[in-house]
Every structure is written in C-alpha cells, then in structure tokens.
Chains A and B, each alone.
Chain A
Amino acid sequence: MSRSRIRRWTLICVAGLLAGGAGAAHAEDAARDLPPPGKVRDLDYGDVLFHFFQDDYFDALVRLEVSRDLNRIEHHSAEAELLSGGLYLSLGLHSEASRIFNRLLAGPVPQSVSDRAHFYLARIGYQRGYHAEAWRSLERIRAPLPGQLESERRLLASNVLMAQGRFSEAVGALQQAADDDWAPYARFNLGVAMVRSGSAEEGRRLLESVGTMAAQSDEERSLRDRANLALGFAHLQERAGEPAVAALSRVRLDGPFTNRALLGLGWAESDVQRPERALVPWLELREGRLLDSAVQESFLAVPYAYAQLASNGQAAQQYRLAVQAYAEESTRIDESIAAIREGGFLDAILDAAPQDETVGWFWQLQNVPDAPHTRYLYHLLASHEFQEGLKNYRDLRIMQRNLERSRESLAAFDHMVQARELAAAARAPRKAEVLANTDLDNLSQRQDALTERVAAISASRAVAALATDVERRQWAALERIEHVLAGLPPGPQREALAERARLLRGTQLWQFDAEYKVRLRRAEQSLRETGVALDEARQRVALVEQAGESAPRDTAGFAQRVDDLAQRVDAIGPRIDATAAAQQQMLANVAVQELEAQKRRLASYAMQAQFALASLYDGATAGGAQ
C-alpha cells in the first residue's frame, strides 16, 4: 500500500497540471471516437483510459508512455498516439503535441484519425496566433468529426475567420452553427469585432441578440451582461442615448459589470440632456472602491453633472473631493508597488485562488481583503499576459512538488537496491556451499540405476527381488533347506521334507506374488516421487545458479538507473526554480507597469479636476462681473 501510495502521489499531485478548462476539453475530445467497451484489446491501454476518463491526465500520460515504451499497446497504436497528443495538449505542451500530430499524419492512418489530428493542429495554430496555418489545417478535415468535436470545429472555424478579419464569412459560419452551445459567445465576439472595425450596425444587431437571450447558467448571465454593456457603449459612441439606456439597464446590479454599466447609464442620460438623472447612477458608482476605474471616472462625472445643472458650488466641492480621492488612491498604489517589488505577492495570489482555471472567478476577488498585495489583482488579471504568466507560475509550483515526491521515491528505490546488494553478497558463500553439497550428478546416477532395476524386476517378475528383509531371510533359509534336502538320500523321509519345503515355498511365493503388485506399485510410486523431487531440486539449483549470476548484474543495472534518475532530478530542480523566479520577476514587472499606468491615469484625472476647478473659479469671477 505504501509503495503504490508514493507512486500515486507522485503522479497525482501533478494532475493539477492543466493548461485550462478549455485545454482539458482537448484531451477529452481525443477519447470520443474510442472503441466501445469490451473492444479494448490491450489491457494496459484500458488502464490508461481508466485514468483518462477520470481526468487524471498526467497519470494517464505517464502510463501511456510506459506502456508504449514496453510495447504493450500494439493493437491501438494510432489511437494511443492521438490520445497522447491530446494529453500533451491538455497539459500545455503545445510543441510536443504538435510534433506528435504531425508525425502521426506523416504515416498511413485512417481518415478518422487524420481528421482529428488536423483539428488539434488547427487549434494549436489558432492559440499561437498562426491563423492562416490554422485555416489550412481546418480545410484538411474531410468528414464531420465525432460527437462534440464537430461543434468545436465550427467554433474554431468561426474564431479563425474572425481573427483573420473575414467577418462576413464568420457571420455565415455562425448562422450554420446557431444551435451550438458556444454560439452566443461567438456572436458576442463577432459583434464586438464588427463594432470595432466599422460594421457597427451589424455588430450591434449581434450584440442585441445576445443581450436579450434567455440565460440559464451564471456564465450565460455573465455573457449577457457583457453583451449589453458592449451594446450600450456602442450606442453611446453613436450618441444614441435612449437605446444605450435600454441596453445598460439590462445589466445585472450585482455582477462584475455593474460599475461600468452605471458609468455608461450616467453618460446616456447626460447625452439626452438629463443630467439630474445621470447623477443617480454616478453617485451610486462613486460609493464604490476607487481601485475600479469606473469608480475613478465617476469622481469626475458627478461634478460634471452638477456643473451641467448649474450647481457650481456643488461641482467645485466635488472636484476638490475628486482631487483628494485621487491623491489617496495614488498613495495606496505606491504601497502596492512597494509590496510587489518586495516579492512574495504571487504566492499570496495563488493561495487565494481556487484550483480551477475558469477565468470567471477573478471578479469575485473584489471581496479579497484589501491588502497591498491583492488590491489590484482584478485589474492585473484583465491582462492576458498576466493570466498566462500566473498559469505558468502555478504549474511550476506544482512541478516542484512532483519533483519532491520523485526524490522521495528515488531514495526508497536506492535503499531497496542497496538492501538487495547486501543480501546477495551475504548469500554468496552460502550459495556456494549449497551448490557444493548438492551432488546432483551422483544422485541422478543412483536414481537412474534404481529405475533400471525396478523396470527389470517388473519385467521378469522376479518377485523375490522386492521381498522385505524378513522375507528374504526366510527365503534364504528355505533355499538352504532345499540345498540340504538335495543332498539327502532319496526316501520317504526326504519326500516328506521336500513336500513340506515345497508347500512353504509355495506359500511364500503366493504371498510374494500377492504382495508383489502392491509393492511394485509402491516402489514405482516412490521412484516417481523421488524422480520428481530430483527434477525440482535440479530446477532449483539451476535457478539459484542463474540467480547467482544474474542478481549482481540486475542489481548493478538497477543501481545505475537509480543514479541516472537521481542526476536528472538534481538537474531539473534548479531549472524549475530559475524559471519560476524569472516568471515571478516578469509578472512583478507587468504588475508594476499596470499600476504605474493606473497612477498616470489618476494623475491625469486629478489634473483635469484641477483644470475644471480653475475654470469654475474663472467662470465664477467672470459671472460675477456679469
């Protein structure tokens, strides 16, 4: 139990080494087209699947590699190859996965396999930003993919088209995929892309459809909010206040997008010359935490509304409030920057984060304690680079744990191998002694001689040969009597004695005969038994001899392997540490840059507030003159 425990932990603690929820789906898909139960022809492949189906991807991959190395999965080689590609992909090893799929495609494989290989390559290409390449791979898919994969292919196709700016084709692709689960997400992406690139009306239509859809899950509601938010701001861009209000009003009041929606609502009202109504959302917004940029803007928006309402006194006061708030916030940012520069903030973030990869969780971090380390996390995580970097850092930490378990396992193996060496060395003299004492040849010669004798007896029915000692003495005595009788002169006395001798002999013979069969059987039986024992002894001696020869060789082999592995472990450790340090440094830099950008924005807001304040004073003076 203990051994398997160690191994299991070595493998399983890295099960968390996933590249992402979407990534996990990659490996999942690789299994869709698997043979139905009962059709697994290599038990070890079944073992791989058993772990794979439970989402233990790392465990499954290690077992798969072992079994392929040992040629245990000969009946499923193409499938196993595809599965290993999918597993590598789900663990974030894009390059390795790519190599595997390309190698797979280089050989003769059934179309179902090549189709899927092309699909995965297309996905990898898209993730890396090689859109043209991704499209080419997609075009090489000949037939609809099995199950869920076909829907994924449509999604990938529409994403690639969007990335290439082929919007009208993307719209067409989306129309074909209207029933897919992911369709609303794609419509949203396309809608935003089109708004940004100039096909605003079409884009808004798409966003409207997503913004008014029925939403079952939290993710869907979140998507709907985003769509309405984007739509609202798109309308604002066109100065269309009423539709903007309509859209923004659909955003939930307690979600991740509330603040922005409130900001937008204010502008929408302001656009249609209703500054008093603009104040409502803006004032509410201003109660929020200043680390949110929408809240920061509200500090300027509120006095602006007051100014529109000609309450200059209020406006001035609010501007002063804004300047003060910005200054305080700037100080807090400085604290955070200092804390980040000191280090350790990544670990604090990681400890606070749940293990699953869905990015949606980060907005909940607004509830995180207001510590210098974590205050600005929300904003940092909006950056793609930061997310990727965080993922890497997390994976590196998991790898360190795996390495630690590997070290422990190796120490145990080393101990085992040493114990064996000692045991073998201790046994060597005894073994020599045993071998010396076991004179098998002599034994087998005697056994053979005995066999021959029994065979001869049974053939000649020389019953006397099987007599017991007593019987033999009796027989010998009888022979002596007969001998003596032969020397006697013939006469009635001799006849009478001879007759008695004959009777006795007859009795003896009869007795021998009766017992003969039994004794012969017994003799043959024991001969067989000792024959078997001799054979076994021979086998065992052979084994011992063989073991005597091979044990030192085996043990030496194991010792070497343990050494090699220990060296590899020692080499990997520092590299993990170095990469983790580099990643942490990078992330710290990104974080600091982000925060400094924030500071700059705050400074610019503060400046605008000052400027507006100055203008108000000017106006007051000028107005006074009027």
Chain B
Amino acid sequence: MQRRDWYARARQRALFETLALLAAAVAGLLAFPVLSDARPATGGAAPDFALKATDGRNLRLSEYRGDVVVLAFWASWCGPCRDTLAQLNSLPSASGDTTPIVLGVNLEGDDARAASVAQSLGLEFPTLLDTRQSVGRLYDVERLPLTLLLDRDGVVRGAWSQQSISGEEIARQIEELNL
C-alpha cells in the first residue's frame, strides 16, 4: 500500500513534467489569438471560411479571389439587415464596370427560416448558412447588420456596422477605391 502510493505520486510528477513540456509546444498556439486580432479591421485580410448555401452548394470565400466581394451578415429578426439585402440585390447593375460578388451570411442557426426569408426577399445572390455560428465568431460579429467590402485580394476595404447601406454607396466606394 505504502509503495503503491509512492509510485503513484512519482508517476504523477513525471507525468506533469512531460505535459508541461508538450504544453510549451502548444503555448505558441494559445498566443496566436492575442497576436492576430480575429476581427478583420479595414486593411486586414478577411478570414477564409466555407459554408453551405441554401441551394446545397458549398462555397468557400477564398475561391472568389480575383473578384470584388461584398459580405453581408444578417439575421431575419434584424430589420435594417433586410433593407441592406434588398439594396444589395440590385447592386450588380448599379456599379458600372466592376461587377461585385455578393454573399449573404445568415447567422441565425435556423436554416429553414433563413432560406424562406431569402426566398421571400427574392435574393439573387447566395445565402450562406452559418449553422454552427463559427463564421460569426470568426468575424467577431457583435452587431447586425455588418457589411464588408473586400477587394480582389481578399482584403477588407470597407466596413459598415449597425447600419443599413445603399447600393449606390457601395458602388461609389468601389469606384473611389478603384477596385
């Protein structure tokens, strides 16, 4: 009995040391969230993600590199979001030479409702379903609506938070930034 206790303690101590050693290997990993601010600030790269759209396709943000992209985060209970979505629906024809890709990201976690709202709004761009709300977290979305304008390299060049935004304004921004 005595011996067993002793072994157990020695073993535990050795175990701790080894874990501490491995923990050092992962310490760097934990440091990262501090080093790389999760929320993409204007000028920062938009984090990549893949989500399923209401039509069943999986779409990945990085595959749109080379195009100007508008990311619109929304939820059905958010009125200004709906306004923004309606505006974005007619965006492509409003901005002349550059035809931006619009991607709606629904953060509710209720796919059926998101799909039905998208349909009732007659949205012509993909509605991505963030079922697990991982992208919402990735982008640190605290307030809705949040609309981001990305350039052809995937860098955030414009951000509108807590306000609905008009198609003209986005088109103007695209032109001003020469995207």
Residues of chain A at the chain B interface (Cβ within 8 Å): 1-3, 5-6, 8-9, 12-13, 15-16, 348, 351-352, 354-356, 364, 367, 401, 408, 411-413, 415-416, 419-420, 423-424, 427, 430-431, 434, 437-438, 443, 446, 526, 530, 533-534, 536-537, 540-541, 543-544, 547, 551
Question: A residues within 8 A CB of B32?
Answer: 2-3, 412
A364 partner, pick from B35, B48, B97, B154, beta carbons under 8 A: B97
User: Given the complex of chains A and B, what is the CA–CA distance between A343 and B24 in angstroms?
Assistant: 51
Please encode chain B, from 55 to 93, with 1 for each CB lying within 8 Å of some chain A CB and 0 for all others: 000000010011000000000000000000000000000
User: Given the complex of chains A and B, what is the CA–CA distance between A530 and B11 in angstroms?
Assistant: 10
CB closest residue in chain A, given B177? A351
Q: For chain A, what secondary structure do more than half of its interface residues adopt (helix, strand, loop), or is it mixed?
A: helix
Residues facing A in B33-47 (CB within 8 A) are 33, 35-36, 38, 45, 47
B66 touches A438 (CB 8 A): no
B29 touches A430 (CB 8 A): no
Question: A residues within 8 A CB of B50?
Answer: none
B21 partner, pick from A13, A419, A541, A544, beta carbons under 8 A: A544
B13 at the interface (CB under 8 A from A): yes
A434 touches B14 (CB 8 A): yes
Output the least CB separation between B37 and chain A (Å): 10
A5 partner, pick from B7, B31, B36, beta carbons under 8 A: B36
Question: B residues within 8 A CB of A356?
Answer: 66
Q: For chain B, what secondary structure do more than half of its interface residues adopt (helix, strand, loop), or is it mixed?
A: helix
Output the least CB separation between B169 and chain A (Å): 19
Question: B residues within 8 A CB of A438?
Answer: 10, 13-14
Question: B residues within 8 A CB of A15?
Answer: 65
A434 touches B28 (CB 8 A): no
- In the complex, besides A16-B65, A544-B14, 12 extra interface pairs with C-beta distance below 8 angstroms are A3-B29, A13-B153, A13-B154, A412-B31, A415-B35, A419-B28, A420-B28, A423-B23, A534-B7, A543-B21, A544-B21, A547-B21
A401 touches B153 (CB 8 A): yes
Question: A residues within 8 A CB of B36?
Answer: 2, 5-6, 408, 412
Output the least CB separation between A394 and chain B (Å): 12
Question: A residues within 8 A CB of B47?
Answer: 5
A430 touches B17 (CB 8 A): yes
Output the least CB separation between A360 and chain B (Å): 15
B27 partner, pick from A3, A423, A547, beta carbons under 8 A: A423
Please encode chain B, from 122 to 164, with 1 for each CB lying within 8 Å of some chain A CB and 0 for all others: 0000000000000000100000000000001110000000000
Interface residues on B, range: 35 or more
Output the least CB separation between A510 and chain B (Å): 27
User: Given the complex of chains A and B, what is the CA–CA distance between A543 and B154 in angstroms?
Assistant: 45
Output the least CB separation between A455 and chain B (Å): 17
Closest 3 CB pairs of A and B: A416-B28, A351-B178, A540-B14
Query: Counting chain A CB atoms within 10 Å of each CB, which of B4, B14, B36, B48 scores highest?
Result: B14
Question: B residues within 8 A CB of A533?
Answer: 7-8, 11
B117 at the interface (CB under 8 A from A): no
A424 touches B24 (CB 8 A): yes
B35 touches A526 (CB 8 A): no
Output the least CB separation between A58 and chain B (Å): 12
Question: B residues within 8 A CB of A12?
Answer: 62, 65
B116 at the interface (CB under 8 A from A): no
Q: Could you name 21 residue pairs across A and B whose Cβ atoms are closer than 8 Å?
A: A2-B32, A3-B29, A3-B32, A8-B62, A13-B153, A16-B65, A16-B66, A351-B177, A364-B97, A367-B97, A411-B35, A415-B31, A419-B28, A423-B27, A427-B17, A427-B20, A443-B6, A537-B7, A540-B17, A543-B18, A544-B21
Output the least CB separation between A573 and chain B (Å): 19
Output the least CB separation between B65 and chain A (Å): 7
Question: B residues within 8 A CB of A544?
Answer: 14, 17-18, 21
With A12-B62, A364-B97 as known contacts, state yes or no: A530 contacts B24, CB within 8 Å.
Answer: no
User: Given the complex of chains A and B, what is the CA–CA distance between A434 and B21 in angstroms?
Assistant: 14
User: Given the complex of chains A and B, what is the CA–CA distance between A411 and B35 in angstroms?
Assistant: 9
Output the least CB separation between A217 and chain B (Å): 19
A412 partner, pick from B7, B35, B66, beta carbons under 8 A: B35
Query: Counting chain A CB atoms within 10 Å of each CB, which of B27, B28, B38, B47 scores highest?
Result: B28
